[in-house]
């Protein structure tokens, strides 16, 4: 099982909404546990088992498919169904 942690800005509605979309998609993936925690202002960071795999780059936020792809590539082989 992979543990995905998303650190997101607690005040930015755009990032909060995007986080909701990413979480919904990740929860459909077997063997994936998702946790959302408040991060710094303007933050959107995705970690798999404590390792940062994706994050906001300037003004560009990774889309849902990009996050799913990197999480799938990063997940331990035993966690993939």
Task: Please say whether the beta carbons of 64 and 26 come within 8 A.
Answer: no
Q: Could you tell me whether strands 44-48 and 2-8 are parallel, antiparallel, or unpaired per DSSP bridges? A: antiparallel
pTM: 0.88
17 HSE (CA, 13 A, CB side): 3
The domain made up of 2-79 has a fold known as Glutaredoxin (3.40.30)
Q: At which residue do the structure tokens 């792809």 appear?
A: 69
E-assigned strands of 9-60? Answer: 32-38, 44-48, 51-55
pLDDT digits (tens, 9 = 90+) for 12-60: 999 999 999 999 999 998 888 999 999 999 999 999 999 999 999 888 8
pLDDT at 28: 92
């Amino acid at each position: 099982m992979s543990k995905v942690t998303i650190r997101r800005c607690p005040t930015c509605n755009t990032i909060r909404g995007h986080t909701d979309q990413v979480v919904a998609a990740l929860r459909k993936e077997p063997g994936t546990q998702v946790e959302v925690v408040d991060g710094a202002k303007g933050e959107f960071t995705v970690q798999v088992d404590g390792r940062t795999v994706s994050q906001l780059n300037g003004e560009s936020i990774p889309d849902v498919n990009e996050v799913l792809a990197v999480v799938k590539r990063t997940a331990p082989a035993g966690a993939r169904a």
